[in-house]
Amino acid sequence: MKTVYLDNNATSAVAPEVLDAMLPYFGELYGNPSSMHTFGGQVAEAVETARERLAGLLGADPDEILFTSCGSESDNAAIWSALQSQPERRHIITTRVEHPAVLSVCRYWEHQGYRVTMLGVDAKGRLDLEEYAAALGDDTAIVSIMFANNEVGNIYPIQRMAELAKERGILFHTDAVQAVGKVPIDLRHLPVDMLSLSGHKLHTPKGIGALYVRKGVRFRPLLRGGHQERGRRAGTENVPYIVGLGVAAQLCADFMQKERVDVARLRDRMESGLLERIPDSRVNGDIQNRLPNTSNISFKNVEGEAILLMLDRLGIAASSGSACTSGSLEPSHVLRAMGVPFNYAHGSIRLSLSRYTTAEEVDYVLANFPGVIETLRAISPFKG
């Protein structure tokens, strides 16, 4: 059975061009890029080419890019460095809707005696700039706020928030894992100090990420050991995956504008079609300011997990805004922060598209999804 894959915010298919570029570095080009000989030198050159390509996508200098294993490592490294380089500052600002890669880190440091401010959101998942500005203080070591939300797709006012932090001499980090490659980011004009990204959201294999660190920002490495990545991240470079990330970045730069239009058009057609066909359904998030590929829809009086199971039987891969923990179904922390009503929050589904999503796949979803909700509502214990 063919899979209609609509879970690209979780991970994306490896682009054929990326795989082709990676393969030689699993075989004949196996040298260590830190070696002095020519055999290793050609591998080092490939790493630097990838760094240049990624820097080009971001409007950064190649020296400002360091490769990591994933977005979570990049987030950890950014926050660690900010705290270690400013021991006199004991305050962190983040939001209630961050990815666990940031929320868990902030909670850890809170247990270590740091003060953590978690900004709230309104019913559409939007941040309040006045609340944010009031939270900034002389003791603030770092602000860490995601560029775009992984669940509802909201794009946050990072430009203004970073400017406000800069005025106070406060470091600003953004988790841009969901945004890089989907919306334009130009770090020549966006005054963030650090930015995290992950390759497998950009059509590379899992296991490669990067952290942008602006020139002049004091940086304390999370991983210590060798001199790799200019002393900022120890460990022999994951060359095949770095090469793949470079190619993926180039593909994003080449096709981003077309993808933003085409993918958003498919997303909107699918979303409006589902809302028309299924009563008591609602879109979550700020539909005027979100990622072009992301739709989060809630269906009243059904469970998200049950929806996913039935969709899976039809070959449709999506994700739920609910998480099953210890046998108790809990709505996502993002939807709870937004105040989505309980009987809607439990039936939340995220549909996230990519450049590989087709109109025929959207048609298939529209033909089959309404029947799933109708069936589940007929047997649902939820009422009202």
Which of the residues are catalytic?
A: 324
Q: In sequence order, which residues have a C-beta less than 8 Å from that of residue 70 and are 6 or more positions away?
A: 198, 200, 206, 207, 208, 209
The residue count of the chain comes to 384
DSSP category for residue 148:
B
Q: Are 190 and 162 in contact (CB under 8 A)?
A: yes
Point out which residues pair with 374 in neighbouring strands: none
Integer-rounded Cα radius of gyration of the chain: 22
Distance of CA 334 to the CA centre of its chain: 14
Q: Which two tokens stand for residue 255?
A: 């096709």
The Cα–Cα gap between 366 and 125 comes to 26
Query: CB neighbours (10 Å) of residue 96?
Result: 16
- Please report which residue ranges of 219-350 form alpha helices under DSSP H: 239-277, 304-313, 333-338, 342-345
Burial class, 302, CB count within 10 angstroms (exposed 0-12 / middle 13-18 / buried 19+): buried
DSSP letter at 191 equals -
Phi and psi at residue 222, to the nearest 5°: -75, -40
**Contact assessment for residue 320 and residue 350, using Cβ atoms and an 8 Å cutoff:** yes
The tokens of 142 are what? 């770092």
